[in-house]
Amino acid sequence: MLLGDLTTPALVVDPGTLQHNLTAMAEALPGERLRPHVKAHKCTSLALRQREAGHRSFTCATIRECEGMAAAGLGEDLLLANEVLDARRLGALVEAGARITLAVDSEETIAAATSGGVREVLIDVNVGLPRCGCAPPDAGRLADLARARGLAVRGVMGYEGHVVGLEETAERIAGCTASMEILLAAHEQVGGSLVSAGGTGTYAINTWASEIQAGTYVLMDTAYERLGLPFRQAVFVVATVISSTDGYAVADCGLKALGMDHGNPSIAGSEVWFCSDEHVTFAPAAPLGSRVFVLPAHLDPTLALHERLHLVEGLADVLSAGAPAKDAEVLDTWPIDLRGW
């Protein structure tokens, strides 16, 4: 199959850039220092590549992700970094041989872990992002309660999500430092071997956590690209120009193919005006039938909107206009098999 044979909009990945990102992260955070977050790509084929790079423990955001990872033979050490009130599906994975650790931040989530058959937990601490996580002074009490209920408490987690996207490095460092001071104080009360935190934006800054939960690094998006990280844009949504007039063009890639919560996507050499349900409008005009490569602003929700991604040989050459776009070979197609709940 050639790139020109793909029905658009389609997710395409440059395999050379993907490998660069895998290698760069493995050198920066080898082995247990990284617990890749699969919510970023929801693809077990890609997770297998991360394991080949030396990362054998993974972070998940949904029970479905845990189930899919275990079914793919990747259940050696899975953290569900999210609270649930019904953990029975997780308990079934534990009984089948997977190692599942669950984030808890309340008496109710501890009870759910116990009744659902989960045996190991992390105490989730609010370190400044007003999302999940207990109040820091309550972490020790919850750890004692979990142990009293028969659970093993592996440590703490806290996500500095309000910090990871700050464009000014000094602000990112200061914010991360403040968040980790909170988390380390909670860890003193909780105990355990794990301090789990971080993301792609703080992977090199957060030296306090024992493991980093970065995910976007592997494929990247324009939001993180602005931070000047050593990871490169590996994924694009290829679209076909379906209308073109004086001064602007329209391609068949819109809101239903792109995560839009971080703003408009980008198209190299063009100015994106806006996105509609099935369209992206940009300037200047482009030839009808030509292919354009749309850079998503937010990776995670973009990947969740597609059923598969295509590895395209020489995509980097195509993007630099050194090769005809439609003649690039599709080397492989990977299902985005962890979608849904």
- In sequence order, what DSSP letters do the residues of 58-89 get, joined into one string? EEESSHHHHHHHHHTT--SSEEE-S--S--HH
User: How far is residue 316's CA from residue 322's CA, in Å, rounded to a whole number?
Assistant: 9
* Mutual angle of helices 44-52 and 63-71, in 10-degree steps: 60
What proportion of the chain, given as a percentage, has pLDDT over 90?
95
Does position 324 have pLDDT exceeding 70, yes or no?
no
What's the Cα-to-Cα distance from 54 to each of 39, 97, 110, 205, 227, rounded to whole Å?
Answer: 19, 21, 32, 21, 25
Does position 152 have pLDDT exceeding 80, yes or no?
yes
What proportion of the chain, given as a percentage, has pLDDT over 70?
99
According to DSSP, the β-strands at 235-245 and 211-212 are: unpaired
pLDDT at 225: 95
Superfamily of domain 18-219: Alanine racemase (3.20.20.10)
CB distance 110 to 146 below 8 Å:
yes
User: Using one digit for the tens of pLDDT, what is the confidence trace for 162-205?
Assistant: 999 999 999 999 999 999 999 999 999 999 999 999 999 999 99
User: How far is residue 152's CA from residue 291's CA, in Å, rounded to a whole number?
Assistant: 53
Which residues, including other chains, have CB under 8 Å from residue 81's CB and lie 6 or more apart? 37, 59, 60, 61, 103, 122, 124, 157, 159, 196, 213
User: Using one digit for the tens of pLDDT, what is the confidence trace for 55-113?
Assistant: 999 999 999 999 999 999 999 999 999 999 999 999 999 999 999 999 999 999 999 99
pLDDT at 16: 96
Amino acid identity of residue 33, one-letter, is R
Confidence of residue 322 (pLDDT cuts 50, 70, 90): low
User: Using one digit for the tens of pLDDT, what is the confidence trace for 3-15?
Assistant: 999 999 999 999 9
Same fold for the domain at 3-11+231-335 and the one at 18-219? Answer: no
Domains of the chain, residue spans: 3-11+231-335, 18-219
For 205, phi then psi, to 5°, come to: -90, -40
Does position 129 have pLDDT exceeding 80, yes or no?
yes
The domain 3-11+231-335: what is its CATH number?
A: 2.40.37.20
Does position 323 have pLDDT exceeding 70, yes or no?
no
CB distance 156 to 190 below 8 Å:
yes
- Give the pTM: 0.96
Of 108, 116, 129, 107, the residue nearest 66 (C-alpha): 116
User: Using one digit for the tens of pLDDT, what is the confidence trace for 31-63?
Assistant: 999 999 999 999 999 999 999 999 999 999 999
SS3 state of residue 190: helix
